[in-house]
Each structure stands twice: as C-alpha cells, then as structure tokens.
Amino acid sequence: MAAAPVWSVDPRTGKQREQVAVEATAQEVDAAVRAAHRARGALADRTVRSALLRSAADELEAAKSTLVEVADAETALGPVRLTGELARTCYQLRAFADIVDEGAFLDVVIDHPDDTATPPVPDLRRYKVPLGVVAVYSASNFPFAFSVPGGDTASALAAGCPVVVKAHPDHPGLSELVAKVLRRAAARHGVPEGVLGLVHGFEAGVELVRHPLVAAAGFTGSVRGGRALFDAAAARPVPIPFHGELGSLNPVLVTEAAAAERAEAIGAGLAGSMTLGVGQFCVKPGLVLAPAGAAGDRLVKSLTDAVSDTDAGVLLDHRMRDHFVAGVAERAQLPDVESPVTPGAGGEHTVSAGFLTVPASRLAAEGEHDLLLEECFGPVTVVVRYEDDAEVRTVLSRLPGNLTATVHLSEEEAAGEGRGAEILGELTPLAGRVLVNAWPTGVAVAPAQHHGGPYPATTSTSTSVGGTAIERWLRPVAYQNSPQALLPQELRDDNPLGLPRRFNGVLER
C-alpha cells in the first residue's frame, strides 16, 4: 500500500498547492529516531551546541524571504506577522545559545564531606544531563516560533537533546524547508543531519511518542490530540515526560471601578487582543467578566464598535473554520446568550469576528452553559456580566486551568486600595501568568517568562517560552565519593569550565 501523500494547501482557497512529502511509515519513524539517537554525542560539547543554535538563526535569516513566502501561502497569516515571528524565533535560538554558554542551567552543586552534620554528609556533586531524543509536535498557529525551529526544538538542542519533529499538516512545505535550513546549520559544525528529524502524518506522531528511544515530548495543540498523546506517553512500558500545551480560556476580570474609569479603552483593547491573528493566539482572552451596570454597558458598546470594524479573516485551515462556525452557533443558541456582534462565517473561506454576552448567574452551576467555559479557537470572546463580587468568585471557581489570567483595575485599586491584591490571589491558582492592566496576547521571550499553567492549559508545571524551558529536557545526577579524576569536568573542584555553581553552600559566579 502506497504511503499517503502530504499536500500543501492554500487556506485562502482551500485548494492543494503541491505535494511536499508522504506520511512516514513506522519504519521511517524508527529510522529518524535512531538517527537522532546516534547524533547525541555530537551535542555533548556545549560550545558546539551554542554555535549550532547561532548558525541556525543565521541560516533562517538568510532564507527569510523564501520562508516567509511559503509560510504565508500555507497559513494566510500575512508577511508582516510572519516576518516578526521569524525574527522572534531567531532571537530565541540566540537566547538559548547564551544560556548554553553561561552554563547556569546545569545547576552544579558541590558539597564536601561534613562529619559534623546529622547525619554526616559524604562528598556529593550534582548537575543535570540531557534526557535523550525529544519528540516535538508542531503547532498550527505559529509556523516558526512553535514549529520546526521553535522553542521546543531550540531548548532541546540547547539541553543537548536531538529532536524529531512531527510536522503540522497546515504547513508541511515550510516544515520541509526549515528542516533543511537547520540541517545546513548543523553541518557547519560537524553535527550529523539526524540531529533534526522530521516526519509527517497522524500515525507517525503516535509511533513517535511510543518509540522506546524517545525520552521526552513537547506538544502544542488541541486538548483532544494532546491528551491522546499524553496518555500514550504515560502508557508506555517506560513512561516519559510529556510537556503538552492543550488549550486555554485566558479569563479577564474587569472590576467595576476600572470600567467606570476607562470602559472605552478597555473595550477597544479587548477587541484588539481577541481578534489579533484572527483570534488564533493560544493566549486570546476567551472569557471576560465585566460589571452588569452602566460602566459595563459602556465597555460592551466600545467592544461592539471596535469588533464591528474588524475585517473578516482566514483561519489556518478549513477544518478549523468549520469548527469555529459550528462552535459559535452552538454557544449563541444557549438561553440568555446574546450576540451584540455575531461571529461566524464571513464568506466562503473566511470568518467574521464577534462576541457573546451572558449573565454570570448562568455559569453559577453545572449545566448546558458550561460550553462557554471551553476554548473556541478563532475571533470570539464571551463577556460574562456580573452583579457583584460573589458572582465573580463563583465563576472563577468553575474555571479550568489557563495559560493566563488578567485583571483590569482602577488607579486606586492598582495602588493598593480595595480588592486588588485579593483578586490577584484569586487569579493565581488559575494560570501560569497573571497580568494587571494589560492584555495576554504577546508572550515575551525573557528569562522570567512562564508560558504554561494548570491542566488543561498544560500537562506539566513547566514553561515552553523563556530560558527555563530548557529544564524540561534535563535530569539531575549526583555522584557520591567519586575520585576527582573520574568526575565530569563540570563537577571538579578546580572548575575548569568556569561554570556558575554552588560550592559548599556558597553561590559562585
């Protein structure tokens, strides 16, 4: 039986562009994983890893015009957005190169023997080592930053782990091009091209997470697909870490005082955030708690005006478009749900932005309105009108885990008056990033960033953005009473590599 072809499709028309690959067989997945496994030794030297990451950024920039053209043809995200995303991706690669050079991620700790301690402490030396081959599952909505050259790949290579990427079907042609670029960067430093494997097809993705030489996996996508892979990773004879980003509602709370102070600005800001990228950001605000009174009415009017001026847009593929149109229609039919601006089909290949409103009392207990507490991928949000703080607490108590949670406060509340600090405390258990007087769309690549959250936002407590994303692909090892001559250089007393470390309780830089 011939392998199924993999086609590049234009989401603006729904037509096939060209065949770019075929779906990988189990034997081909096995070959890609084994090639990656053999490439581990080439990543043992940190100087090679950092050089590879910097060369990858250089090669991507050199191929920018071609990559952006193909990415736009397959995603309809537009050259401006894609050029910015590619720049972010290159910055991220170089940021991980800096982290590799610094070496603090190795978390070196050395304790000399102490017979006076209770119990006595032997000679102990601890650092972190790479897990092995990492399976990366590309996201649809970020064809650079969360795909073949994205944060999972960059952080895994930085940790010393080869990667096998399962390409997303929405941008297979781009995935093939980017893989060639990264392999070209690897060749510049004598690293085998198997360090970056690429496979296509649903079954290939399942085979990948089950392969005995795959040591960990990173996933960005839907709850359904991510949970199936997560369960497969846990059901293996040797379970592996599965770091999945599955879905997020990203709630926003607007206090009555904030709405009274700047309702129009908040409404306009919400419209910009929820329609950014045709509502296809993983941190799109999908549920907004707004007061039921006059100030809330002003906010809704501002939101109505701004969303009404938004042009129809193209989603990443027609399957997503169908799910969006059906999802918003089902939600709009619920009792007491209104549509000030009706979201849905904007044309044969496009969708129109809109939003729904519902009284908070409808979400007080389990029922058919629980559908409003599920993510709807696309340019729509749900405005929940609350009467008092008790209704706010009730709705918040029913929310699943999220990547972000946002509160808009008045100037006085932000200065410490009223319930500001209390609200932050109520939002903290709900999300991995809590924002004040801002919007969640836009995830800075920074050392302090955390892009993760309680389930179903993610399946682990880690982040997929920022420097600490490297920790997902490492495990600690301690050596006890080992002679100096046998120790890895990272753990020797004379510190020949000049690493940051904690030496006998003292932090050394």
DSSP secondary structure string for all residues of 68-120: HHHHHHHH---HHHHHHHHHHHHHHHHHHHHHHHH-GGG-EEEE--BTTSSSP
- Which distant-in-sequence residues (6+ apart) come within 8 Å of 44 by Cβ? 160
Reported as half-sphere exposure (CB side, CA atoms, 13 A), residue 55 has a value of: 19
Structure tokens at 238: 């040797």
Contact 229, 209 (CB under 8 A): yes
C-alpha dihedral sign at 466, 248, 246, 348: negative
164 beta partners: 135, 197
Contact 363, 369 (CB under 8 A): yes
DSSP H/E element including 37: helix 26-38
Q: Write down the catalytic residue from 59, 161, 176, 282.
A: 282
DSSP secondary structure string for all residues of 283-329: T---EEEEESSHHHHHHHHHHHHHHHTPPPB--SSHHHHHHHHHHHH
Q: Write down the catalytic residue from 74, 85, 176, 245.
A: 245
**Three-state secondary-structure class, residue 440:** coil
Contact 97, 50 (CB under 8 A): yes
Alpha helices, H only, 118-255: 151-159, 172-187, 202-210, 223-235
CA-nearest of 16, 33, 282, 67 to 170 is 16
State yes or no: cis peptide before 456, omega within 30 of 0: yes
Contact 92, 84 (CB under 8 A): no
**Is 245 in the active site?**
yes
- Which distant-in-sequence residues (6+ apart) come within 8 Å of 38 by Cβ? 192, 194
**Is 282 in the active site?**
yes
Q: For residue 7, which phi and psi values (nearest 5 degrees)? A: -105, 145
- Which distant-in-sequence residues (6+ apart) come within 8 Å of 348 by Cβ? none
Burial class (CB in 10 A: 0-12, 13-18, 19+), 174: buried
Active site residues: 245, 282
